[in-house]
Homo-oligomer: A and B are copies of this chain.
Amino acid sequence: MENTRELFQIMTRRFGLLNKNCCSVGGCDISLAQSHLLYEIDRRHNPSMQQVAETLGIDITTFSRQVQSLMKMDLVKKTADPSDRRVFTLSLTVQGKFVATTIDQQMNDYLNEVFSYMSEFEKETVLRSVQIFNDAMGKSSRCCAPITG
């Protein structure tokens, strides 16, 4: 029987490689870190810088600069929060939304191909399992617990 960590290590490595391979949209090449930013900004509703940085486990100063470069590429927008002027909320530009959506599409296409090698029952089981696992990770008191999502 394989080691438990091994199973997850291999899976996440492969998924990470996939993520890396999906960083090219049209003429626009972005880094893996930038892809993660776009993903997280896309799935939330106007999150603050702090929130996203913490969720991704990135130092806030590094994050600040990553946002700057994505703004230069016109993929991300920063808006001052009127209720607390220390805070900036993040959102995607039209182009940023397009890039994020395209990446999401590519990833889902690939995942669908992977699922095509399983029976429908297996597919359902796998999806449910990942959900169960994510829920359990969320309950854990140890390192990764506070991360939302």
Identify the interface centre among A112, A115, A142: most chain B CB within 10 Å of its CB: A142
Find the B residue at minimum CB distance from A129: B129
Q: Number of contact residues on A: which range applies? A: 35 or more
> A56–B14 Cα gap in the complex (Å)?
9
The oligomer's copy count stands at 2
Q: How far is the CB of A29 from chain B (nearest CB, A)?
A: 16
Q: Does A98 contact B (CB under 8 A)?
A: no
Find the B residue at minimum CB distance from A57: B17
Q: Is the CB of B39 within 8 A of A9?
A: yes
Residues on A close to B: CB < 8 A? 2-21, 36, 39, 43, 56-57, 104, 107-108, 110-115, 117-118, 122, 125-137, 139-144, 147, 149
